[in-house]
Structure 1
């Protein structure tokens, strides 16, 4: 089983895995939401970052121990550890942040202090409105930056272009930093399309594109450990450590550059 997608650790496993894994304890899991703007999802307590979760993200808590929670993310099934104090109650979200970023304010005025920076995809519970502001239990958000859950954007490539020049960050899933798969996932989720967290898993999305067939907008190009989103038959966008940022490149030039760097040829071409 893939460690990243298996909701089990040495102490507990989800009830759905009974008969498939050995575990000291099986649990139905406890619903919760991320209660901070951004949190690292770790491989082990105090371990390396695998991915990140953002404000309002739904998770299932599988185990709690010594201040740490082992969780599974609802958006993509990814499992890992975070601190218990980064979790909140599983309140029903109503809206999501549909711009690359926004702020949560103390009051419905631009002069009010910001309480948190929210990134694309963050989920909030709107309880009312005050003019152009949406009220949530934690503060106020510009209503124009939100959409109701289920009201998705339409063009993943355009979403990705909203992150141009965002710094590259291994395992990053926010406007503060993205890696290649984080960019693709953010763009697809914003358009209501399911998407795994890592590029090797994303390589199974859609259908294969025949060798030599023209590329189309929103196709995906894969290298070993890397993914890019096609903007046009000749141009792509990706988060790359080569430039430590989200950049646009000519496809043929990028393929040649990556090959010269010893990172191999394109391995998959996929159409969503």
Structure 2
């Protein structure tokens, strides 16, 4: 059975590449689009529960529409779901930069005292057309402090994850406003130019380089059933977790004991991305 989360098809229509593999009344090439909201929920059904989130600048392929909702496939990781159609735009230029700090603001003018348009999270992507003083000029209008942007991938996923320390835990979250365990791992790895699926079970399945717990290194991922954390060293990890309801450090031995005693899920092992 195909995984609904990564099958770009509704009951009515599927992407053309699924013809012959998925039976639907109609098929489409899809329409390229870009997320233009700071953060948007990717839902299991129109107006349904959140499964993941997409950030400003995320490229998607629009597959189907129903009322005010559009079914999309995220082009970064193939995750599929419904989002509000008003959060999408077509025909935008490709992103050139990413937000490389926990959060930033888009301003009306290149002046921090002149009012902001919106706030953007770590990992949001922007099309920069030039600079004005200490600000980047955006293709759709607005200005962002240059010091908050980068046009190069980060070098250390642990350093990226640490930027989000203290961020509140949010199931399915992918932003500075709220993030979950797999969202943190994906954000950290993607900032470094590495592919990473959206949910922890997908991440575990995608990473075949198994590492003994005694040989764990910085940047390795620890997996439990339904949970993932990132090692910051041989005896400590960082994770978004429901225990502290935040992104926090925790000793690896202490976490193994705590999670086992709570019965929250079996430890599956360590994987090196």
Please report the TM-score for the alignment, with normalisation by the length of structure 2. 0.96
C-alpha contact 2:14 2:28 (8 A) present in aligned 1: yes
Q: Which runs of 4+ in 1 moved over 6 A?
A: none
Cα deviation, residue 268, structure 1: 2.3
Instruction: Confirm or deny that 1:124 pairs with 2:147.
Output: no
Deviations, residues 238-271 of structure 1 (Å, cap 9, x unaligned): 0001111001011000110111111233112101
The answer to whether 1:147 aligns with 2:147 is: no
Q: Distance in 2 between matches of 1:212 and 1:246?
A: 22
Unaligned runs of 5+ in 1: none
Cα RMSD for the two superposed structures: 1.1
Q: CA deviation at 1:146?
A: 1.1
Alignment of 1:160-171 (within 5 A): 160-171=161-172
Does the aligned pair in 1 maintain the 2:213–2:269 contact within 8 Å? no
SS of the aligned residue for 2:186 comes to: helix
Distance 2:190 2:23 in 1: 33
Quote the Cα distance in structure 1 between the aligned partners of 2:71 and 2:192.
28
| Aligned-residue offset at 1:35 | 1.0
SS in 2 for 1:232: coil
- The answer to whether 1:79 aligns with 2:106 is no
Shift of 1:77: 0.3
> What are the Cα deviations for residues 53-109 of structure 1, in whole angstroms up to 9, with x where unaligned?
110100000012212100000111000001111111241221111111111001101
Report the 3-state secondary structure (helix = DSSP H, G, I; strand = E; otherwise coil) of the residue aligned with 1:260. helix
Q: Partner residue of 1:138?
A: 141
**Structure 1 residue 27 displacement after superposition:** 0.3
Contact preservation (8 Å) 1:205, 1:270: no
Structure-2 residue corresponding to 1:236: 237
In structure 2, stretches of 5+ residues that fail to align are none
Following TM superposition, by how much is the alpha carbon of 1:138 offset from its aligned partner in structure 2, in angstroms? 3.0
2:223 alignment counterpart: 222
Does residue 113 in structure 1 map to residue 111 in structure 2?
Answer: no
SS at match of 2:71: strand
Distance 1:222 1:22, change over 3 A: same
For 2:181 and 2:102, how far apart are their aligned partners in 1? 16
8 Å contact from structure 1 (residues 58, 90) kept in 2: no
